[in-house]
Structure 1
Amino acid sequence: MWHSFFSNIFSLYSLLEGRAFCLFLFISALIPLSSHAQECIVHGRITDGHTGEALGRVYVMTNNNIAAISLPDGTYTIRLPLGKIVNIAFKSLGYETKNVIKKASAPDSIRHDVILFISENPLEEVVVTARSEARKLRESSMPISVISQHQLQGTASSVNEVLARTTGVTVRNTGGVGSASRISVRGLEGKRMGLFMDESPMGQMSNFISLNDIPTDMIERIEVYKGIVPYKFGGSALGGAVNIVTKEYPPFYFDVAYEISSFNTHRLSTILKHTDSKTGIQLGIGGYYTYSDNNYNMRLINLDDRIVRRNHDKFSNVLVGASLKATKWWFDELKYELLFSRTRQEIQGIDMDIREAFNHSSSIITGLTMKRKNFFADGVDFDFDLVYNYGRYGLKDTAKYRYDWNGKQYPAVSTYGGEQGNFPSDGRNKSHEVYGKLNLCYTLDKHHSINLNAYANHTRLLPKNELMDKVLGYAANHPSNMNSFAIGFSYDLALFDNRFQSAFTLKDFFFYSRSKVMESYNINELQTISLNRNHIGWSGSLRYRLSSVFLVKGSFNSEIRIPTSEELLGNGFSILPSTALEPERTTGCNLGFLYHKARKSGGFMEAEINGFYNNLSNMIRFTQDLLPSMARYRNFGSVQTYGIEGEIKGDVLPYLYVYANATYQDLRDTRKNIPGTNVSNPTKNKRIPNIPYMLGNFGMEFHHENLFGGKGQNTRILFDASYIHQYFYDFEVSVNQNRKIPTSFTMNAGIEHSFMNNKWTISIKLKNLTDREVWSELNRPLPRRSASLKIRYLLK
């Protein structure tokens, strides 16, 4: 494993010219140590005394002058001259001002955390303004779940595990670390979900960097939108969206974490940021590395319940990146980023003992971000992103023999080799993707604002698999181009001292693609396919605050999702083209109620319930083709969904936080006839198979400062439980239908202890405490009981 690790690092250094890379890292680390020797640095985190949430935009004033403004994660940093007594005031609208007197007697770094309490006589509007970003999002008109930074540091180790505990969300995995996964929100899953990072769509990048790869230590919060995708995100998605918001960093920030867990799993992540206070230029560098053998035991239901050890499921993934950010130029933020990633994933056999086949990918991503408030006019906010992604990927399957689970040897699938399917493969595909997003928001006054969003995407695929072409006797895959453009116009309205809010969005989607494809490998005639389509979608949402603790919200939408290049044109080795696909459209509504109250003794109580309806037409499903081992995407027809979800959470005691949520979602086939025929549909009004319909989560956290004595220490003891009711893999059209995904009930626990004012944190986690068998896909067992140890060092 370590040989693989160092090989990855060596290749990475070669790409980024390792010596210059190390010199840059060394100089960046020395800058803060040498530039302010005659000053004392005071830093810390500001939180709400009732909710414990981080407070952003708090003014930190020294001797009546603004010295700093806290970041969204509540952190602040100021510099004090040596030998002087300074009064530091922490001020935020709606909160009581807190004053602290400090004397800098020696050059040092002093941590001082601050807790602010809501003023006894706040104005209603002021209180809303002072709420944290996560709280404001939860109280917006859209149906949304927000996972704050505090919740990310629980028993979960990855983004998928965090999402799986969220109301209305399921995550379907096929195995351990790095395995294929699908995120589902209210039963709509896969490519219907929009995946975003800092409000930028991931698009083709998700084939190389998944949300699950991002270390939770680098995330400020996760936003899960249900039914409506915010207009400012751009792109086409329906059913919802997941947006990862990465952290904003103080002037100096160094964070490194290492985790080791069962099945020889290792995770390493680090980030270094340094900002020059005079120029406002921030330099950053960081990355992560993940490796796992995934060698857990599994029971093969399809082979007489045989117990075997997964022997070909190794996964490795490395990403490094650098950024340059300016905040004092004409733009409020001008940022350039460069990322490199590489992944290797072995293919675990289930029916046969696969020993050599694996998937591989690598990519280089570069991006430019520009933001400015009052862009050439008061009240106009400008936000622009431009990203280019170059990727290389493919399946390598060239083994000379195949083996069953008894060790018996068989000839390869072809005289040229191969362990799976009908053809060997040596994929060396390339892809180019460029996308740009422009968002212009004009605030007319405190009641009205309008927003214009434009999103353009160009994808060029260059498939190359000479080995497969050699077997077939002709080139099966050819270059293709796909262009899409979406423009959206939105209007926001706020009335009655902000008690009423509404938003309406109108979008126009256009896409064009051109390629040469084969509709079937047994008919080797090329067809030139040109597609040109245009569709309109819209959405609206509103909410009304009935009192200081209670609000009601509603939304309605008619959204469009354009098929991806893979769905239309295939992937070059296992998915056939399906150029006749129609875009999916969903029409739905949501009605929800939210209760939130701060407790006098500290903390809060919150309860939310939502009912939803959705009708999905031209549903796209991944189905097996007539050709063995090949598949393609097809329009399934119409699906109707009814559901209800609820959550309650809060501080039942000053040191005890509890949450519980539950979801029921009923997806039904509403097709009258079998597509393309006049034959009545035998599955009409039957529940859509292979999608969970009843699920829930429960958890609690005990937290206490200096539980074991000493100072600057904090301890958290955590417990989570998750339940998913059994569901059928196929349509339930016969009493003899017995292919089911069995009921899943898992429990996790952990303990986290930080000391030296959060500089060091040690976490121990146990997952699947009762060692239950768990599946979320048919015949794809998930890991059973596992343990992990994580050590983190943070300096800021």
Structure 2
Amino acid sequence: MNKLTGILFLSNLLVVYNLKAQLQPESPTAIPVGHDTLQPAKALKAVEVRSVSAGSLQQSTRAITVIDAKKYYNRPVTTLALINQSPGVRIRQEGGLGSRADLSINGLSGRQVKYFINGIPADFLGAGNRLNIFPVNAIDHIEVYKGVVPIELGSDALGGAINIVTRQQLSNYTDASYSIGSFNTHKATVNTYRNTGSRFFLQAGGFINYSDNNYSITADVPDRLGNPVSQKVKRFHDRYRDYQLNAEAGIQQSRWADWFSVNASYYGMDKDVQHNLVMTEPYGAVTRNERTWNAGIRYMKQQLLPRLTLSFYGNAGIVKEHFLDTSYNAYTWDGKVYERRIAYGEIASSRTDLLFTTHNLVGRLQLDYAADSTNKFSFSFTGTYFTRKGKDTIAENYFGKDFYGHTVQMQKNTAGLAWQRRCSPRFISTTSVKYYWYHANGFTIDNLVFNEASRSKQQFGVSEALKFELNRHWLLKASYEYATRLPDEMEVFGDFSLVKANPSIQPEISHNLNLMARYTRSALSAGINGFIRLTDNIIFLQASPRSSQYRNLLKALTAGIEAEASYQFTPSLSLWANGTFQHIVNRSKKENTGNIDDRYFNRRLPNKPFLFANSELQWTRRNLFRRQHTLQCWYGVSYVNWFYLYWSNDGRRDTKAIIPTQVVQQAGLSYALRNNRVALSVEAHNLANAKVYDNYNVQLPGRAYTLKARIFIDQ
């Protein structure tokens, strides 16, 4: 696999690019992931790979928001920031660049929301495909599914999904960018595509990110007498670095395949761990690193048989992770050693030098059959296999046993069948049935006692989505899904360090209902969506200073409404805004929770945002100073209302812990030359330097500046 990665990457370096005198606009296209448009069944004389446009997806039966990433190639914006602009979506991070991020869609969050890269579950592609580091310039568009997840994504998402569709531009180009920002942050990205003039193509890319993440926080630091004193200090052990190389080579528009390719990638990550999940203990020597190798194959053929389209994707991956906690030192928030222990590490009592290896396999088969101009049938099957084994010589010497040398395994299969029918020129219905199955083998360690554990589970799901075009301006949608989410490897087996295993954890189930209306005119677009989620066996992370664990919370009810609007005042000036209100309450009775009474029944769940909004004003002036020169300026605001960290009916009103109201402003400008082929931009984030919190009161970076340069070459 290493040889394949090297050969493909070195082959790309031999490609010679010549700049043309005449400039042509970019024309990115993408391999289709799936859409609702029904076409008459007829033989195709020529096959052309086309993108599924944002417009066609927005017009589908699904509750979906589509973000066109191409509009942001010149900006120093992150993928998480783009997704966070969507109505009903809220992202909460644990720190700066490379930190964990929790995303919620209409009240459902964490692993209830699934992530995909070109329709493939990102969980099985390694950390290099996480949303918190995935470069915007490598993306064509982002699909945000709410409530009902289409069968072609082939996963057990409970309340929504994010699908990243990468650039599949079928014309020769090279796109490179570099940005530098506060806290010694550097990001570089390059993507390139080469068609030899025949049916053979080669595309490659890569990125590298680095940050010291040494932003200021307010923390208690012991004085000379050992008394805690609140001080403003810089994070001292939060350095992050990662990089990725990827390449894909294949043929297109041949007699036996419209698209056939092999791909390979390599990813590396090194990260300092600054503190525990609840930010009560600083660490000064704990580190994590990861190395990931992936190799895959893609195949697509329209009219494989009359009216039948087949697509297949398979991927094999190896992940090697290293977790190091060997220091005897105890640190304070100013980076000084407070004491040196005789035993114990900063996290684990045994200290830890843990290396574990993960093998992943994932395959997806999609069949689409157009029975006639009004009926289309689709079948999807996704199978995944996960196995992991660790080695920790320090812990083995301490306990006298190598607990981590035992293998953990998990297998998941997801199948779906959908029937889409056009009942009238204005009315479309999509009915789906899903089947989920998983089996897990692993272990737990309780009071230094090793216990084998295994679990199997199967579940069915159904969904119905309706779309009605009232007239040329009004679009109405309704959708329902009985959804299931199976526990994943982190929830079942933990991470061998900060999160303990829980093999007895149960799948989550949910009834999801959406009612949407959208109004569109030439300058105005507006939409409103009401949603209800009744979720049972909710899996949540019970955080603690030393070792956390995923558990089931049984039942919750979510009801809410989201609205969005955009208006083009002039050809140069535009404004968009959206807002979300969601009421998430506990529906578990005392006999199911272990509480002595029902004091938490029908109470709003703590540590969950319930009111938030986003807006942005943008001014664009084309042909400024010279032809094909463009100046763009923007100003945006993000608002999150305060919410309780713990149950609202516990404790005194004046001493209850809250996550305070967040108001984050950002502004920037970009100047592009030669029809967006050369661009320079700058952005200021958190203009007012507000103190911002998300998860468990963990402080986020304050005011930060980023400068980005981009060059695009086509030929």
TM-score by length of 1: 0.82
Give, in angstroms, the shift of residue 25 of structure 1. 3.5
What SS does structure 2 have at the residue aligned with 1:228? coil
Give, in angstroms, the shift of residue 528 of structure 1. 2.9
Give, in angstroms, the shift of residue 584 of structure 1. 0.1
Pick aligned residue for 1:484 from 384, 409, 412: 412
Contact 1:263–1:296 under 8 Å retained in 2: yes
1:234-383 matches, within 5 Å, as 234-278=154-198, 280-300=199-219, 304-329=229-254, 330-349=256-275, 350-375=279-304, 377-383=305-311
What SS does structure 2 have at the residue aligned with 1:232? helix
Pick aligned residue for 2:72 from 110, 133, 152: 152
1:539 matches 2:463: yes
Match of residue 742 from structure 1: 660
Give, in angstroms, the shift of residue 624 of structure 1. 4.0
C-alpha distance in 2 between matches for 1:743 and 1:639 = 24
CA 1:504–1:68 in 2, change beyond 3 Å: closer, same or farther? closer
1:530 matches 2:458: no
C-alpha distance in 1 between matches for 2:351 and 2:370 = 58
CA 1:565–1:774 in 2, change beyond 3 Å: closer, same or farther? same
CA 1:250–1:408 in 2, change beyond 3 Å: closer, same or farther? closer
Contact 1:154–1:718 under 8 Å retained in 2: no
Deviations 1:373-424 (A, max 9, x none): 111x221111111011100113111113222246353223x63x52234331
Match of residue 123 from structure 2: 203
CA 1:382–1:164 in 2, change beyond 3 Å: closer, same or farther? same
What SS does structure 1 have at the residue aligned with 2:15? helix
C-alpha distance in 2 between matches for 1:743 and 1:691 = 13
Match of residue 105 from structure 2: 185
1:635 matches 2:552: yes
Give, in angstroms, the shift of residue 573 of structure 1. 2.3
Match of residue 560 from structure 1: 484
Contact 1:481–1:514 under 8 Å retained in 2: yes
What SS does structure 1 have at the residue aligned with 2:16? helix
Contact 2:69–2:139 under 8 Å retained in 1: yes
Pick aligned residue for 1:433 from 352, 360, 363: 360
Provide the aligned C-alpha RMSD in A. 2.5
C-alpha distance in 1 between matches for 2:102 and 2:59 = 28
Match of residue 691 from structure 2: 773
Contact 2:5–2:266 under 8 Å retained in 1: no
1:33-44 matches, within 5 Å, as 43-44=24-25
CA 1:17–1:45 in 2, change beyond 3 Å: closer, same or farther? closer
Give, in angstroms, the shift of residue 579 of structure 1. 1.5
1:29 matches 2:16: yes
Deviations 1:196-247 (A, max 9, x none): 0111111233545312222111111111001111110102111100001111
C-alpha distance in 2 between matches for 1:216 and 1:630 = 34
Where relative contact order (Cα < 8 A, 6+ residues apart) is larger, the structure is 2
Give, in angstroms, the shift of residue 46 of structure 1. 7.0
Letter in structure 2 aligned against 1:194? K
What SS does structure 2 have at the residue aligned with 1:775? coil
Deviations 1:122-157 (A, max 9, x none): xxxxxxxxxx71011112111111111344347662
C-alpha distance in 2 between matches for 1:312 and 1:177 = 13
What SS does structure 1 have at the residue aligned with 2:137? helix
Pick aligned residue for 2:494 from 570, 573, 584: 570
Give, in angstroms, the shift of residue 519 of structure 1. 4.5
Deviations 1:95-132 (A, max 9, x none): xxxxxxxxxxxxxxxxxxxxxxxxxxxxxxxxxxxxx7
Deviations 1:39-83 (A, max 9, x none): 998733579xxxxxxxxx9xxxxxxxx9997964xxxxxxxxxxx
1:388 matches 2:313: no
Letter in structure 1 aligned against 2:547? M
Letter in structure 2 aligned against 1:495? C
What SS does structure 1 have at the residue aligned with 2:217? strand
Letter in structure 2 aligned against 1:694? L
Contact 2:5–2:247 under 8 Å retained in 1: no
C-alpha distance in 1 between matches for 2:183 and 2:452 = 48
Match of residue 661 from structure 1: 578
Letter in structure 2 aligned against 1:494? R
1:507 matches 2:434: yes
Rg larger in 1 or in 2?
Answer: 1
CA 1:172–1:197 in 2, change beyond 3 Å: closer, same or farther? same
Give, in angstroms, the shift of residue 632 of structure 1. 1.5
C-alpha distance in 1 between matches for 2:95 and 2:23 = 46
Give, in angstroms, the shift of residue 550 of structure 1. 0.4
Match of residue 31 from structure 2: none
C-alpha distance in 2 between matches for 1:670 and 1:654 = 50
Give, in angstroms, the shift of residue 565 of structure 1. 1.6
Pick aligned residue for 1:721 from 617, 620, 637: 637
1:630-709 matches, within 5 Å, as 630-675=547-592, 677=594, 679-707=596-624, 709=625
C-alpha distance in 2 between matches for 1:267 and 1:172 = 22
C-alpha distance in 1 between matches for 2:568 and 2:412 = 47
Contact 1:482–1:512 under 8 Å retained in 2: yes
Pick aligned residue for 2:58 from 138, 154, 157: 138
C-alpha distance in 1 between matches for 2:50 and 2:491 = 41
1:174 matches 2:94: yes
Contact 1:155–1:718 under 8 Å retained in 2: no
Letter in structure 2 aligned against 1:654? P
Is 583-592 or 322-331 further displaced after alignment?
322-331
CA 1:766–1:624 in 2, change beyond 3 Å: closer, same or farther? closer
Contact 1:208–1:361 under 8 Å retained in 2: no
C-alpha distance in 1 between matches for 2:4 and 2:438 = 36
Give, in angstroms, the shift of residue 439 of structure 1. 0.6
Is 748-757 or 198-207 further displaced after alignment?
198-207
What SS does structure 2 have at the residue aligned with 1:675? helix
C-alpha distance in 1 between matches for 2:286 and 2:408 = 26
Match of residue 32 from structure 2: none
What's the % identity of the aligned pairs?
A: 24
Deviations 1:758-780 (A, max 9, x none): 22011111111111111112331
Contact 1:199–1:232 under 8 Å retained in 2: yes
Give, in angstroms, the shift of residue 352 of structure 1. 4.3
C-alpha distance in 1 between matches for 2:124 and 2:327 = 29
Give, in angstroms, the shift of residue 495 of structure 1. 3.0
Match of residue 463 from structure 1: 390
Letter in structure 1 aligned against 2:345? G
Letter in structure 1 aligned against 2:409? N
Deviations 1:609-662 (A, max 9, x none): 01111111000111147xx61222111110100000000013121111110100
Pick aligned residue for 2:538 from 597, 619, 640: 619
CA 1:712–1:610 in 2, change beyond 3 Å: closer, same or farther? same
Match of residue 754 from structure 1: 672
TM-score by length of 2: 0.91
Contact 1:690–1:730 under 8 Å retained in 2: yes
C-alpha distance in 2 between matches for 1:694 and 1:304 = 34
CA 1:704–1:43 in 2, change beyond 3 Å: closer, same or farther? same
C-alpha distance in 1 between matches for 2:26 and 2:290 = 40
C-alpha distance in 1 between matches for 2:117 and 2:588 = 36
Moved over 6 A (4+): 14-18, 39-42, 66-70
What SS does structure 1 have at the residue aligned with 2:160? strand
Give, in angstroms, the shift of residue 15 of structure 1. 7.4
